[in-house]
Amino acid sequence: MSGKQAKEKRKNILVFGSTGTIGAAILNHLSMSHPAAQITAVSRRALDSSANFTNVTIHICDYGSDAALAQLSEIYAQQNSHVDELLITTGVLTAILDKPEKSAQQINQEELLENLRINAVIPALIFKHFFRLLTLSPAPRFGALSARIGSISDNRLGGWYAYRMAKSALNMFIKTASLELRRKNKQSVVVGLHPGTVKTKFSEQFINQTTKNCFTPEVAASQLIDVFKTLKPSQSGGCFAWDGTEIHP
């Protein structure tokens, strides 16, 4: 076994949301690019029957539940001494409404709360329950799918109230979490990752011939992982796009 393979074998990677379009592509890319790593995929439902991973352990878990995450972290800790990389690929554009709000008159209380829960609260709960295991890694990395639309300074069009608010909250969580993890481990990296526009059922109604930076899930996954693995501890707390550029708050 080469030195690189030995190092890779010790790497423990945890992926949440592995049945979504982007999440499945990320899991597939990681499985192929890290054949000796210990990869754990967490999903609310079974993976596609066509998925045939030899180096992936699958856990079915309602990761929107605090209690379920607590139990999962205990099970994971019995099988793995630490977490080297944790990726959260979950998220929604709308949770209840058919389309994002175009005006204040379309603001819906239930949409606001559920969008915030899925896009910001769940990543925070995952971080809470796997924090200790992250601190035990020599150089832990934590990444969550964010979006440019969560940037306050970049908001020039308005609208999309719930999604904008939720992603902005996620970005603040990422910054705050990065500071706490850094106190425990100076080599840590905690970031938001913006994939650009990805061709999914989620985005197809918003894609047209003028849409820029539109990628297949496979290309988006490759780009995000390349960015995620090259970011430095000094960049922790930020949000970064598919091409490595930082998205300012």
- In this predicted model, what pLDDT tens digit does every residue of 12-25 receive, in sequence order? 999 999 988 999 99
Tell me whether strands 246-247 and 239-241 are parallel, antiparallel or unpaired. antiparallel
Write down the pLDDT at residue 209.
Answer: 61
pTM for this prediction: 0.92
Q: Hey, is 55 helix, strand or coil? A: coil
CB within 8 Å of 242: residues ≥ 6 apart: 193, 194, 195, 196, 213, 215, 220, 223, 224, 227
Side chain identity at 16, as an amino acid letter? F
Measure Cα distances from 43 to 88, 147, 173, 184 in Å: 11, 22, 22, 28
For residue 110 the two structure tokens come to 């239930």
pLDDT in tens, 80-119: 999 999 999 999 999 999 999 999 999 999 999 999 999 9
What residues of the chain score a pLDDT lower than 70? 1-9, 49-51, 202, 208-210
3-247: CATH number: 3.40.50.720
Q: Hey, is 59 helix, strand or coil? A: strand
Answer for the pair 200, 219: CB distance below 8 angstroms, yes or no.
Answer: no
